[in-house]
Structure 1
Amino acid sequence: MPNKGNFILNLYPSTKFMLPLFVTISIFLVPSYLFAYMMLPLCIAIALIAGVAKQFLNLIVKGLLLLVLFIFIIQSVIAPGEEIIWSWGIISIKEEGVMLSLTLTSRIVAIASAFLLFFRITSIRDISQALEKVGMSPKFSYAILATFQFIPEISKRSKVIMDAQKARGVETEGSLLTRTKAFVPVLGPLVLSSIANTEERAITLETRAFSTKGKKTSLHKLHKTKTDMSIQILVIIFIIFLAVGRVMIWN
């Protein structure tokens, strides 16, 4: 987890959520794909301040770049239009298709980068704690917390089991068929260890009186500061300003 002494990381979860909220609303209010694409540099700048730029860019490159390129190419080819920019056989790229692709991919990049950054700078524990403070059931907030923690835990556990298999002489690297054969023996221990982990969690929760009625307490405390309130108000004002601009100028 990044250094909690950082200004960005110390903000309240609802304040951090104003970023994806602002990005999602603003890119539909401002009819410009350049504005939507500018949300990515904004997110990178925030990631640099928060000290998570390396992890954030890694997520963008591995999880978003190929998807956006694929959508851009496909949309440019299949979209109808009259102004042909380039053609090869039955394949043709039209100006209308390119403009539509730019609009679509810019919004995908903006929204995806904002939400990726939000979950990069906000721990799931903080999110569940904030949800409980606004009245959500502790059981439901724990279900959210456990769901987000499940995939990383499964990934780590599978890596440990694969390393153990490799230490026993099982070939785990090579062709796709070899890796598939090596993965099959992992499924059994992985499923059994996941079931055991679930049982341990249930026992731990019961020892902490999780299912009892009454007000719950937590060692993990969250506090909303004046800075959080100021940022939220400024973002709301800016969204209203963009909405007025949409009606008066861009409409």
Structure 2
Amino acid sequence: MSQAAKTNYILNLYPTTKLLFTLFIALSVFIVPTYWYAYAMLPVCLIIAIAAGQGKEFITLVRNGLLILLVFIFLMQAFFYPGAQILWQAGILKITQEGILYGLNMTSRILAIGSAFILFFRITSVKDFVYSLEKLGLPPKGAYVVLATLQIIPEMKKQTSVIMDAQKTRGVETEGTMMVRAKAFLPTISPLILSSLASTEERAITLESRAFSAPVKKTHLYEIYKTKHDTVVRIGMLVALLILIAGRILL
């Protein structure tokens, strides 16, 4: 861990505290029925990401992972959601006010929840998150399954990059038109599957060599602890949640 990460209060928060904040955003966008509140969660997450030194990566992931999906969902709801107040019509296509409002509500919630989870995985180490789950009582085998699941996509991406570079040195064209990429798919996917199987076997042997399945209490060389900042953040989220619930009931 870098010196900047050691002194960053956001990065140093306990993993379950960050998870509770993510769940708080996901729950609050359903408690508050207005789409402007859900859209406001994006700049909130962005501010936190910038404070944690992850602003650029956060924006890139939100843009690449959510933007196209949100535009598609909004257009589908705007054109095909039933409504009486028609704002525009051309043949069978029509935009209704109800469709626009429903599209705004749906896309705002997806954006808020998606941004919260993107922020969580940008400011939380997978290793720390799985370790915190194990300390909560998750069995070591279950913790390993969670860890392997979260790491499978980055590992396969890294393996794919290595395989494609190796295929380039052998004269296989991997860049260009769609047809060229399609032809390069089979020479790339076959080594990827074989290397993934070999990697799984190597991991299993490594775990067993370290007595992973032994029915004894496991010890750890790496420890993480909760701090007073975690207590403050959790109390603040609880108070905010109670205020939102009370406001929904009263208003």
**TM range, smaller chain:** over 0.9
Aligned identity (percent) is 52
| Distance in 2 between residues matched to 1:29 and 1:192, nearest whole Å | 47
The letter of the residue matching 1:4 is A
State the 1:188 CA deviation: 2.4
What is the 5 A alignment of 1:73-222? 73-222=75-224
Please, which runs of 5 or more residues in structure 1 have no aligned partner?
none
| RMSD over equivalenced CA pairs, Å | 1.3
Determine if the alignment matches structure 1 residue 22 to structure 2 residue 43: no
| Distance in 2 between residues matched to 1:204 and 1:73, nearest whole Å | 50
2:5 corresponds to which residue? 4
| Distance in 2 between residues matched to 1:234 and 1:172, nearest whole Å | 51
State the 1:41 CA deviation: 0.3
Q: Structure 2-normalised TM-score?
A: 0.96
State the 1:236 CA deviation: 0.8
The range that moved more, 49-58 or 88-97, is: 88-97
SS at match of 1:172: coil
| Distance in 2 between residues matched to 1:190 and 1:94, nearest whole Å | 48
SS at match of 1:39: helix
2:70 corresponds to which residue? 68
Count of aligned pairs between the two proteins: 249
SS at match of 2:87: strand
| Distance in 1 between residues matched to 2:106 and 2:29, nearest whole Å | 11
Which one of 12, 31, 54 corresponds to residue 52 of structure 1?
A: 54
The letter of the residue matching 1:170 is V
Deviations 1:206-233 (A, max 9, x none): 1211111111111221101121012111
| Distance in 1 between residues matched to 2:127 and 2:5, nearest whole Å | 14
State the 1:83 CA deviation: 1.3
| Distance in 1 between residues matched to 2:84 and 2:124, nearest whole Å | 46
State the 1:133 CA deviation: 0.6
SS at match of 1:4: helix
| Distance in 1 between residues matched to 2:22 and 2:172, nearest whole Å | 45
SS at match of 2:89: strand
1:227 corresponds to which residue? 229
| Distance in 2 between residues matched to 1:25 and 1:161, nearest whole Å | 42
SS at match of 1:38: helix
| Distance in 2 between residues matched to 1:174 and 1:67, nearest whole Å | 26
State the 1:189 CA deviation: 1.7
Runs of 4+ in 1 over 3 A off after TM superposition: none
SS at match of 1:104: helix
